[in-house]
Amino acid sequence: MADIADQTPERIPINLVVNGAGRTLEVAPWTTLLDALRDRLELTGTKKGCDHGQCGACTVLVDGRRVNSCLTLAVMKDGAEITTVEGLAKDGTLHPLQQAFIDHDAFQCGYCTPGQICSAAGLLAEGRTRDADEIRELMSGNLCRCGAYPNIVAAIEQAMSRS
């Protein structure tokens, strides 16, 4: 009987649409979406925080939904549309959330900011949020070790009022 490792291909071709551009990659079956984005596509805005899906620093949008890219195998997203923080701005104009984070000083060290912004973009697209309490609840998977939460909530409220 052949060992299962002998049957696993070393590289699997996948196609992604990343920030509006089609990309073809060959990845090992165990490559996370996070590592494919950072290491293969050089989109380093998405951060590797805990690598266990507990901090949200790696949050990106997959087909418009918030996803922890550190817990997602790249091969599982073959054909998906991926949006990273680099893909939110359009034609040189910041996304309303990016501008709101600046307006409200919603970051300190900035490490969690890309994941916070992508998560907030997904949150707004979901359309389920009506107030600050719901923002806090639905953003609870994104941690800020600097404690900029009041400013993050204010930034999301600003973007929500303008959408």
Alpha carbon distance 117, 98 (integer Å):
7
On the question of pLDDT at 122 being above 90, the answer is yes
pLDDT at 129 over 60: yes
Lookup result for tokens 């071709």: 13
In 3-state terms the chain splits into helix, strand, coil percentages (rounded to 5) of 40, 20, 45
**Could you tell me which of 20, 116, 16 has the C-alpha nearest to residue 73?**
16
Q: Using CB atoms within 10 A of its CB, is residue 139 exposed (0-12), middle (13-18) or buried (19+)? A: buried
Is the pLDDT confidence value at 140 over 90? yes
pTM listed for this prediction: 0.92
Please say whether the beta carbons of 24 and 40 come within 8 A. Answer: no
pLDDT-derived band at 143, boundaries 50, 70, 90 = very high
Rounded CA separation 58/110 (Å) = 13
Residue 6, classed as helix, strand or coil, is helix
